[in-house]
Structure 1
Amino acid sequence: MRRAVVAGLLAVACAAPAAAQELVSYAVQGDGIMQPLAGLRGDPQRGRAIVASRQQGLCLLCHAAPIPEERFQGELAPDLAGVGARYSEAQLRLRVADPRRLNPATIMPGFHAPQQAPRVGSAWAGKPILSAQQVEDVVAWLATLR
């Protein structure tokens, strides 16, 4: 039941107007994306704001994170505390951009992968949820969580 609720919420999130971004290509090597998307540098403060946002990332729907001012954090996915000590930036980048490359059965959406969810509006089909810059911002913040 919880998965059905989360899947429904993610389908709605994937159809939000903010999802209309252009997809940039990237190369997966092993379990990571070694190069920053589009050669961009991330900003940890913007990344934290995206993770905390109930309109953009929706990360806290499933994950708990060290963002004490945000109530009602998720329990479906791993806690993000310490994630920067567990994974390299390349590994974090792939987990944010396209986690299905690592686990095809994951309920986590690919934030910079073509969206194939059944309820995605046609204007957003094949478009990522987050821009390359936003992905790099999230990765920069996650990398600080040691």
Structure 2
Amino acid sequence: MFARDLAECEKTERRVVSPDGNWESTRLLLKEDNMGFSFHITTIYEGKDFDMHYQNHLESVYCISGEGEVESRETGQKHHIKPGVVYVLDKHDAHTLRAFKELKLACVFNPPITGKEVHNSEGAYEILE
């Protein structure tokens, strides 16, 4: 058993800020923790709008605070994001995420990420060992 403090992790290499300035994420659980998934607290900055397509990972996302929407790039279907809503990318969905107000999200990835990943040109994380 172990415990981690978000505020403490934010002071370490577990806090990652996107090169494009859209988001930051503190990775509380990573592949090295051997849980079979990774768990992150991610902030999407207000007014940001960007495409992602996790071709190698499944992701579920729970909204802690803020407001936005996620849109399927394949179907155009939109889901409103607000506190208490979870959205699930269960089919490696290509999607656009929009933050109308700064979003604070709890994200789970399967398989777990290592913490060194960056989004590629298609908005995906590569599998890193």
Bin for the TM-score computed over the shorter chain = under 0.3
Under a length normalisation based on structure 2, what TM-score does the superposition of the two structures give?
A: 0.28
Whichever structure has more strand as a proportion of its residues is 2
TM-score, length of structure 1 as denominator length: 0.26
Q: Which has the higher contact order (CA 8 A, sep 6+)?
A: 1
